[in-house]
Amino acid sequence: MTTRSLTVAAAQLGPVPKSASRPDTLARLIKLLEAAATEGAQLVVFPEAALTPFFPHWLVDDDNELLSYYEQSLPSPDTRELFDAARELRVAFVLGYAERTDDDRYFNTAALVDETGDVIHRYRKIHLPGFQSVQDGAPFQNLEKRYFEVGDLGFGVQSWRNTTIGLAICNDRRWAETYRVLALKGAELVCLGYNTPASTPHLTESNDLTDFQNHLSMQAGAYQNSMWVVGTAKAGIEEGVAQIGGSVIIAPSGEIIATARTLGDELVTAEIDLDMVMRYRRDVFNFEQHRRPEHYKSITEPHPRGNTR
């Protein structure tokens, strides 16, 4: 019996400084894409907001500067070269970016681009962390609620190369609903980019747990929903903010198959067994046979809202 397999790569990025031009950053992405193709990767996952520094980490006073961080279309003139490279290499990719719509709405978005360079699926981040207003005294900001709207596309899936793929972004990974909804829609592989600070100014007690909790959330989601997860970081010290790395490929067993070892540009590649999803869903988490949501007690009080990233 032939096993369905796919070679995937997490293309971790080191810091993207404000001084970097879009072509400079794009050249780094293309270099990782080319390296992935050399290693036989068929799908490459880039980080959240891969094209720019993560600008919600500071207050942007200048409107022209703020707008420069968003893309109004994909491929845009500034990103066309990446799409052309994917077409030439016959490699698909997931790209996180800041999206500005034609009617001036703003989202933290990820796009799935197939090996012909066409955008075949798009997701807009739902679980926005952080704050709307500046937090006085904080060493850095997290103003996602200021610069992005809550995603309006829901958690969708896309079939590609006989694989059902779902997308998520950063803070989404902390919420059980992310993986469960995607699993219920048939997702076998979840691709997730993140920009996560190494410290949390308003919850310093968790600082030593950041790397652990990053992997914990993705491993739990993968295991409890019998799916593969590829998590890709933007890492290192970017505009004064230290960000974790730990880009990772996780199996439906919850096991880490491969992980990044640096805080710079690094490629993490693995051949994954997609039929492992079927085996775990048949023999461990068979939703149809064992899941009984009609017997769950109603939640009468909401959980206190947290603002951690």
User: Buried b vs exposed e over 26-65: b needs ≥16 C-beta within 10 Å?
Assistant: bebbbebbebbbeeebbbbbbbbbbbbbbbbbbebeeeee
Question: With the C-alpha atoms ordered 247, 250, 254, 255, is the resulting torsion angle positive or negative?
Answer: negative
- Which of 48, 71, 144, 238 is catalytic? The answer is 48
Nearest C-alpha neighbor of 44 from the set 9, 14, 12, 6: 9
- Three-state SS for 170? helix
Active-site annotation holds for 234: no
- Distance between CA atoms of 119 and 73, rounded to whole angstroms? 10
- Which of 71, 170, 188, 191 is catalytic? The answer is 170
- Distance between CA atoms of 249 and 276, rounded to whole angstroms? 14
Residues 43, 51, 23, 105, Cα dihedral to 10°: 120
Q: What is the DSSP letter of 102?
A: T
- Which of 71, 99, 125, 266 is catalytic? The answer is 125
Active-site annotation holds for 170: yes
Q: CA Rg, the chain, in Å?
A: 19
Active-site annotation holds for 34: no
- Distance between CA atoms of 180 and 305, rounded to whole angstroms? 20
Q: What is the DSSP letter of 176?
A: H
Active site residues: 48, 125, 170
